[in-house]
Amino acid sequence: MNTNPVIEINNLTFSRGNRVIFDKLNLSIPAGKITAIMGPSGTGKTT
């Protein structure tokens, strides 16, 4: 089975205006796994 991630993010920092949204985010999504991003409506999940 392939263990390489399909999506990998390392040390992502993102802010909008003076508000920090992500601070040094690390994320690895392996192939074949179900992954969801959840949050209230209007919080930028699609962005």
pTM, rounded to two decimals: 0.61
- CA-CA-CA-CA torsion sign (13, 16, 21, 27): negative
In a domain, 11, yes or no: yes
Domain tally, the chain: 1
**In terms of residue numbers, what domain contains 4?**
1-32
In a domain, 10, yes or no: yes
The predicted structure's pLDDT at residue 9: 95
The predicted structure's pLDDT at residue 8: 94
- Short-list 26, 23, 24, CA closest to 9: 26
The predicted structure's pLDDT at residue 6: 92
The predicted structure's pLDDT at residue 4: 86
State pLDDT tens for residues 1-47. Answer: 667 899 999 999 999 899 998 999 999 999 888 888 898 998 877 86
In Å, how far are 1, 2, 18, 43 from 37, measured between CA atoms?
A: 25, 23, 23, 11
The predicted structure's pLDDT at residue 20: 94
The predicted structure's pLDDT at residue 18: 95
In a domain, 20, yes or no: yes
